[in-house]
Amino acid sequence: MSPKKTNLSEVGKITIKNASHLKIGIIVSEWNSEITNALRDGAINTLTGSGIKKSSILVEYVPGSFELPIGAQYIIENTEVDAVICLGCVIQGETRHFEFICQSVSQNISRVSLDYNIPVIFGVLTTNTQEQALARAGGKHGNKGVEAAATALKMIQLRDRLFPSQNS
């Protein structure tokens, strides 16, 4: 039986303990900026809606999605963030660029997360067309930035449950 499909855009407001003490990094790819800026705004609204101060959300930019992992690593090494959200949009073109970028970004976001023991969230759209991307950046399929922010908050909740003394 297939698992129940959950659209995290519909999770609503996530209540998180000590939200006002949390710091979140957001790293945004400038490639396809109309889409990635919409993802960024969705993520910020979700975080502030859960009680995180706007001044505790650090937003930085990289040229393309390929640079998201090193951007996340720079943020982690130079700030005290509880999670980093990586936002990008890779649209299939006529060459194999798409495959190389998607593979590298997904593997390296995962690597940075495990190397630094911090949630680094994969909020990267990988679509065939710009229309499909727009539909997932505030259109009929929700906003992947909202989902990425909700995922970051859920991972922080998990950390706080499993390591309560270190993060209370």
> Which residues sit at the interface with ligand DLZ, rule CB under 6 A?
29, 31-32, 63-67, 88-91, 93, 97, 101
Catalytic residue among 17, 23, 53, 97: 97
The nearer residue to ligand DLZ, 15 or 33, going by C-beta atoms, is 33
Closest approach of Cβ 103 to ligand DLZ, in Å?
Answer: 12
Q: Smallest Cα–Cα separation from 143: which of 65, 91, 87, 68? A: 87
The nearer residue to ligand DLZ, 25 or 69, going by C-beta atoms, is 69
CA distance 54 to 44: 8
User: Is 146:26 a contact under the CB 8 Å cutoff?
Assistant: no
- Tokens of residue 3, six digits: 């698992």
- For the question of residue 141 being annotated catalytic, the response is no
CA distance 86 to 113: 11
Contacts made by residues 110-114, CB under 8 angstroms, sequence distance 24+ = 111/69, 112/69, 112/72, 112/73, 112/76, 112/84
The sign of the torsion formed by the CA atoms of 61, 143, 9, 4 equals negative
The nearer residue to ligand DLZ, 10 or 99, going by C-beta atoms, is 99
Q: Closest residue (Cβ) to ligand DLZ?
A: 64
CA distance 91 to 51: 33
The nearer residue to ligand DLZ, 90 or 156, going by C-beta atoms, is 90
Annotated catalytic residues are 97
